[in-house]
Amino acid sequence: MLLILIVVVFGILGFVVSSKLKSKFKKYSQTALQANLSGKEIAELMLADHGIHDVSVNCVDGQLTDHYNPQNRTVNLSPDVYYGRNAAATAVAAHECGHAVQHARSYAWLNIRSAMVPVQNASGKILNFVLIASLFGGLALFNLPLQTVGFVVVGAYGIITLFTFVTLPVEFDASRRALAWVKERNIVTPSEYDMSKDALKWAAMTYVVAALASLTTLAYYASIFFGGRD
Helix (H, G, I), strand (E, B) or coil at 73: coil
Q: How far is CA 75 from CA 16, 72, 86, 109, 185, in A?
A: 27, 9, 18, 19, 20
Q: Which of 44, 96, 171, 192 is catalytic?
A: 96
Annotation says 96 is catalytic? yes
How distant is the alpha carbon of residue 46 from its chain centre?
21
Could you give phi then psi for residue 154, rounded to 5 degrees? Answer: -65, -40
Q: Where would I find the H helices in the chain?
A: 2-28, 39-49, 79-82, 87-104, 108-135, 138-142, 146-184, 190-226
| Residues 76 and 67: beta-carbon distance below 8 Å | yes
Q: What length does the chain have?
A: 230
For the annotated catalytic residues, the residue numbers are 96
